[in-house]
Structure 1
């Protein structure tokens, strides 16, 4: 599959590469990523300081292509939003079902991908300032 990976010899420390498809653990679903969100922490810290070859990315939205083997989480074909410590900047992502939210059918997955970190941070800031 195609993925953006950390490459410290490339401009911006990122390169579009081909990597192996992720192998989900029993409590993880395999998600086909349709869009992902960039976050300041990823851009300023994770990418420049990360290990070469790592697929970064916290937030992504897409569709479950393989449900979790343990029966947790949404079924194949379900649109979802996901969050995790890495792996969002790829065509496929294995993600713990505890960190998957279902999305209404037909929702725009671009803006939905911002919900876990970016939109959550903005909401917390608005609450903090009243």
Structure 2
């Protein structure tokens, strides 16, 4: 079969290679991949790939081999999955605790856009707690996670301000009910909850927008620049602020994927897909994603989709 492997080259991060078809573990199904969605974090890992690493965590496709232990769906089921690696291939082995069955109403393109970004959004909002009636600030909002957080938070009753680099990148967020600004400093606080994903100089500015007794949840460093906090200055401003670190990881992912699928099926969640291409265009798409030229999610197709 064909799969994409890292090259270590900035302008051509991946290339096709022939590889054996994966042999699933007893609790894994074999999925014929129809679509996959790269994440911006994966573009950073491709800059200096570790030996043996096979990229690809968000896939949608068809089960062609059921799990030997009897768990999970049977042959012929359409699924969305979140394997640990190896999804940028014709076939991928996916643990049954990390997938969900798709209804006919959800195509593989939208399904592939769900896993990492959608799971992150769900778990991030659980970490933040109930947001109904609260003022929420979200930085780095124009990517896949930001669109999901915005729709879910606004749907839950939050008054959400989203930070994007340009008006164009914020257009869909406005449609979803967010107030959009183009710089953290432009956000008019105070906020009950700040969801901060850019790091660098933005983090202390975002922290200054938190009301006394509020919470900042730090869940990324998209700027790739370390943040410096002056706690003496902080204590002269929004006192008693709680700072929480968040990371989405932690199996099982299946229940959250099933929840996301259900939200999409009921039209309460709408994946924002900024790019759909055949997987021959993966290298260029990865560069676009790394350089923030894609709004929302990018999806690659390996062949026929539904």
Q: TM-score, normalised by structure 1?
A: 0.88
Residue 22 (structure 1) aligns with: 22
Q: Distance in 2 between matches of 1:48 and 1:9?
A: 7
Larger-gyration structure (1/2): 2
Q: Which runs of 5+ in 2 are unaligned?
A: 122-144, 161-306
Aligned-residue offset at 1:43:
1.4
- How many angstroms does 1:52 deviate by? 4.7
Q: Count residues in correspondence.
A: 129
Q: After the TM superposition, which parts of structure 1 deviate over 3 Å for at least 4 consecutive aligned residues?
A: none
Pairwise CA RMSD of aligned residues?
A: 2.0
Between the aligned partners of 2:55 and 2:20, the Cα distance in structure 1 is 15
CA contact (8 A) 2:32 2:61 kept: yes
Q: How far apart in 1 are the matches of 2:7 and 2:159?
A: 39
Structure 1 partner of 2:149: 124
Query: Whose strand fraction is larger, Structure 1's or Structure 2's?
Result: 1
Alignment partner, residue 37 of structure 2: 37
Rate the CA distance shift 1:99–1:129 in 2: closer, same or farther, 3 A.
farther
Does 2:54 correspond to 1:76? Answer: no
Q: Give 1:65's aligned residue.
A: 64
Q: Which has the higher contact order (CA 8 A, sep 6+)?
A: 1
Looking at structure 2, the residues matched to 35 and 125 of structure 1 have their Cα atoms a distance apart, in angstroms, of 25
TM-score (ref. length: structure 2) = 0.39
Q: Deviations over 1:35-61 (max 9, x none)?
A: 0011111112x2223235532011000
Unaligned residue ranges in structure 1 (runs of 5+) = none
Following superposition, the deviation at residue 8 of structure 1 comes to: 2.1
On the 8 A contact 1:55/1:90 being kept in 2, the answer is no
Note if contact 1:59-1:88 (Cα within 8 Å) is conserved in structure 2.
yes
User: Shift of residue 11 of structure 1?
Assistant: 4.1
